[in-house]
Structure 1
Amino acid sequence: MKLNDEELKDLSKWKQAGFKTPKYNRKQITATTIKNPNWVHFGAGNIFRAFLANVQNNILNAGKSDKGIIVAESFDYEIIEKIYRAYDNLSLLVTLKSDGSIDKTVIGSVIESLIVDPKNKSDWNRLKEIFTNTSLQMVSFTITEKGYSLVDAKGDFLPSVMNDFHRGVEAPESVIGKLTALVYERYKNGGLPIALVSMDNCSHNGEKLYNAVNTFAEKWIKNGLVDEGFQSYLKNPKLVSFPWSMIDKITPRPDDSVKEMLLKDGFEDVEGVVTSKNTHIAPFVNAEETQYLIIEDWFPNGRPNLEEGQVIFTDRETVNKVEKMKVC
């Protein structure tokens, strides 16, 4: 069995080998999502594949949504080419359960994968199209805590960030520069509401994201590169939100014992890659069963119904308390 749409047309062999497959019409979900996307996620790594993509996959399987996720990668572009597009944006989740059993689930909820790079004109223009669509409700992130930092160990702005401050919205290189340029597109197209949701495992993650984006806005306004109203847009809680969240999920590198088990079960696409940026990734992702995601319920344009996938929405105070409890 190979991981692609064509192979999934014959579900009987997957079922006989103990694999769970999508219960929804993926072609129809794709068409709906492409036309009116509501969720874009930055960070195409294993925690996204093992947790967030699986949450949406379960919601789709239950018939409680008609849209998938668009994933965007702003750091390691090889992931998109070698792991997403090479397998029709499908992945295989191997869940190691507490009772010793194993679930093997084909995840089909990711319906489009994009490289976040202005030099890649087609993908960059597609991202602009998505960010200016009224249907977009949430942009989420698992880019690691380092992704939000604009400075080095000495407190000086990173070279890529400093260059972006002077380069402006046309060709940013830093992760936050690229994001802020795309949010500026949304501002220019009617000041549409949006939630920017960090799902990285760091304290007060929404605050970190806001500070980084707002710094770019300040510098670009000072340098005459964007409208002064852009910062007012970012600071208007009815238009742009930066919810806090708490996430807990263990997603190690692809495991050789899992690889061997899958081969015995007839699954052929087990070979991983180590990218030039040292990302260890494979068509399958192995993870423990336990997971938590708690998000501050602050969404100016509405939100995906992730509570149907056991994501908890609450107020900021509760998110903060849960985070402290986790640390203790």
Structure 2
Amino acid sequence: RVVMPPNKSNEYMVVANIADAIFADKEESPEGWQKALEYFSKRSVQMVSVTCTEKGYDVNIPQIDVDLSNGINSPKHIMAKIAVFVYHRYKNIGSPIALVSMDNCAENGLKFKNAVMTFAKEWIKRGFVETDFLKYLDDKVTFPSTMIDRITPRPSDKVQKMLENIGIDDMNIITTEKGTVIAPFVNTEHVSYLVIEDKFPNGRPDLEKVGVIFCDNPDDVARYEKMKVGACLNPNQTTLAIFGCLFNINYIYEVMSDPLCSELVYRQSYEESLPVVEHPGKIDPKEFLREVLKERLPNPNIPDTPARIITDTSQKVGVRYGNTIIAHGNKAKELKYIPFAIAGWCRYLMGIDDNGNLMNLNPTAKPPFNRWSPDHRLKELVNQVSQIKFGEPDTTKDKLHPILSDEGMFGVDLYKVGLGFKVERYFKDMISKIGAVREALESVLYEKGDLEGFCK
């Protein structure tokens, strides 16, 4: 593990506490599968943590039909596998256990529980498992909510070379068939937070000793999560990523060094997001935000990219922007910087940067989709803006309406809160000519002649 603080005094740690690594697949690795079942049969196991990204908890997809039909035989989806492992524990020892999501998404404990329950309930209906299995899940299995915070970009070529130069071999970065980038090392920042709902029916380690914050209920965890994901960190990352892509800037810290971009996230944070944040308890939101804007996002040692951050933005805008809009209530129509960022995202969907050139954020994808980072709604969204012509703002017409009125995406219809047409106006300004995005950004920041700048 390479920890990379702003002063470039990197810290190297060999993570040597992993006792075993197995490939748990019944068909492709029977031995690994059996070993996983054995681990779940041990009474000493108190908790199992899972990191599979937010997509991993999505069971509203056709791919799970095979697992629903096959029952506990040869599951493929990760949630189906977890359900089988827990069923095996139920059948063999019946001991309680905590299943802990370590993924960076809202209500991760609830998402985890709902996914496992989906398989359990359907298998009960089809006669694959006993009805009492559901009672076991309700009474003896918990799914604590968590808030995880540590910026950990994809493995960097620069870090690989750095490790090789100090004599550490076999650090090759691998891209899987599905496009996942993995390596024997992680490069991460110097700051980390972990908040967990204290709901462990079989006991737990004394994680307080290493700085973990425990909460009594999921609502307490949610306040930390909303502070981070909905206000102080993730919205700023998304805004920087949007304009980093449009300005063809390679790294987040470089976007943060752009005076206009940094001014935008400062104003977005202090004028629009922070005022509606509820203090979570043990982390002060103002200090957390200061650390984000002054230390973490400008960190030149973190190789994080706009292309990575902007991935799957359609799944994120509701939490990162929508919740703040909703929190402002009747005053939402007065917001300026969040709707400007949303307009920037719509402008990004055109796949053309501020210099008028086609973007190339995902070189391994087939054209034209190499122009954007992956997003599960990419084709649909790109199609909705496809008739809008760069340099001809009037072609916008009502083309953005299906996007901006999508309550499923934003959590709110932006037209109903008085922001839809404002976003459209910003968007039209951004497509008028080469350099229009930067010109529009400067205009929205300094329209009142305030040349001092908030972040100064």
TM-score by length of 2: 0.49
Larger Rg: 2
Whichever residue aligns with residue 267 of structure 1, its letter is: I
> 5+ residue gaps in structure 2?
232-456
What is the alpha-carbon distance in structure 2 between the residues aligned to residue 268 and residue 183 of structure 1?
38
Whichever residue aligns with residue 5 of structure 2, its letter is: K
What is the alpha-carbon distance in structure 2 between the residues aligned to residue 260 and residue 325 of structure 1?
36
Give the 3-state SS of the residue equivalent to 1:106 in structure 2. Answer: coil
**Match of residue 76 from structure 1:** none
| Aligned counterpart in structure 2 of residue 113 of structure 1, from 21, 26, 47 | 21
Shift of 1:116: 2.0
| Aligned counterpart in structure 2 of residue 197 of structure 1, from 100, 103, 115 | 100
Please tell me whether residue 263 in structure 1 is matched to residue 164 in structure 2: yes
Shift of 1:304: 2.2
Shift of 1:305: 2.4
Task: Judging by fraction of residues, say which structure has more helix.
Answer: 2
Task: Judging by fraction of residues, say which structure has more strand.
Answer: 1
Deviation readout 1:195-247 (Å, 9 max, x if unpaired): 011111111111111111111111111101101100011111xx111100001
Deviation readout 1:13-33 (Å, 9 max, x if unpaired): xxxxxxxxxxxxxxxxxxxxx
**Match of residue 76 from structure 2:** 173
Shift of 1:101: 1.0
Give the 3-state SS of the residue equivalent to 1:122 in structure 2. Answer: helix
Shift of 1:166: 1.8
**Match of residue 213 from structure 1:** 116
What is the alpha-carbon distance in structure 1 between the residues aligned to residue 202 and residue 91 of structure 2?
17
**Match of residue 324 from structure 1:** 226
Whichever residue aligns with residue 227 of structure 2, its letter is: M
What is the alpha-carbon distance in structure 2 between the residues aligned to residue 214 and residue 94 of structure 1?
38
What is the alpha-carbon distance in structure 1 between the residues aligned to residue 223 and residue 42 of structure 2?
35
| Aligned counterpart in structure 2 of residue 272 of structure 1, from 150, 170, 173 | 173
The 3 A distance-change label for structure 1 pair 100 and 132 is same
Which structure 2 residues correspond to residues 10-29 of structure 1 after superposition, within 5 A?
Answer: none
Shift of 1:98: 3.1
> 5+ residue gaps in structure 1?
1-92, 153-157
Whichever residue aligns with residue 26 of structure 2, its letter is: P
What is the alpha-carbon distance in structure 2 between the residues aligned to residue 263 and residue 179 of structure 1?
37
Shift of 1:323: 0.9
Shift of 1:314: 1.5
Deviation readout 1:162-201 (Å, 9 max, x if unpaired): 1111211121111111110110001111321000111111
Give the 3-state SS of the residue equivalent to 2:188 in structure 1. Answer: strand
**Match of residue 206 from structure 2:** 305
Shift of 1:256: 2.3
What is the alpha-carbon distance in structure 2 between the residues aligned to residue 230 and residue 150 of structure 1?
20
The 3 A distance-change label for structure 1 pair 289 and 168 is same
**Match of residue 135 from structure 2:** 232
Contact 2:104 2:148 in 1 (8 A): yes
**Match of residue 85 from structure 1:** none
Whichever residue aligns with residue 39 of structure 2, its letter is: I
What is the alpha-carbon distance in structure 1 between the residues aligned to residue 165 and residue 211 of structure 2?
32
| Aligned counterpart in structure 2 of residue 140 of structure 1, from 49, 72, 93 | 49
| RMSD between superposed Cα atoms in Å | 1.3
Shift of 1:100: 2.6
Which structure 2 residues correspond to residues 64-143 of structure 1 after superposition, within 5 A?
Answer: 93-119=1-27, 120-143=29-52
Contact 2:43 2:93 in 1 (8 A): no
Give the 3-state SS of the residue equivalent to 2:13 in structure 1. Answer: strand
Shift of 1:273: 1.7
Give the 3-state SS of the residue equivalent to 2:129 in structure 1. Answer: coil
Task: Kindly tell me the number of residue pairs found equivalent between the two proteins.
Answer: 228
**Match of residue 90 from structure 2:** 187
Shift of 1:282: 2.2
Deviation readout 1:133-153 (Å, 9 max, x if unpaired): 10010011110111011113x
Give the 3-state SS of the residue equivalent to 1:295 in structure 2. Answer: strand
| Aligned counterpart in structure 1 of residue 60 of structure 2, from 147, 151, 175 | 151
Deviation readout 1:238-288 (Å, 9 max, x if unpaired): x11110000111111222222232233222333222222222222222111
What is the alpha-carbon distance in structure 2 between the residues aligned to residue 292 and residue 100 of structure 1?
21
Whichever residue aligns with residue 149 of structure 1, its letter is: D
